[in-house]
Amino acid sequence: MLQFTGTLKIKKDEQVISDKFKKMDIVVSDDHDSYPQLVSFQLANDNIAKVANIEIGSQVTITFNLRGREWTNKEGVVMHFNTLDAWKIEGGAISANAPSPVADVAPILDTNDDVPF
């Protein structure tokens, strides 16, 4: 399990790749020294919702998997790509537009008490 903690700097637009795959890239900055690292993470499919209500500038901890793949272009050149596949996001200030975490629940009325009001 890999984790990275920093400040959420960028939430890019969601990209629909196919009817079964969509993704969103986010950038988190590690502000620990004079040369902060801006690290790009990918959220896929249902994991995109995990960052929807987190505001830019919030401190977050990202739990992710490291993915690697090989691709051969039209000229036969083999390339290798890495993806930091985020699957858990903790922390962050909740956006003012976020839905309330309290569900609309009707009060339970006890009709068996002796209280006159």
| Residue-wise pLDDT tens digits, 72-94 | 999 999 999 999 999 999 987 65
Pick the CATH number of 2-91 from 1.25.50.10, 2.40.50.140, 3.40.50.2300, 3.30.200.20: 2.40.50.140
- Domain ranges in the chain? 2-91
The answer to which of 28-32, 75-79, 88-92, 99-103 has the lowest mean pLDDT is: 99-103
Q: Mean pLDDT across the stretch 100-107?
A: 40
Measured CA to CA, the distance from residue 86 to residue 15 in angstroms comes to 16
Residue-wise pLDDT tens digits, 36-80: 889 999 999 999 999 989 999 999 999 999 999 999 999 999 999
Q: What is the pTM of this model?
A: 0.73
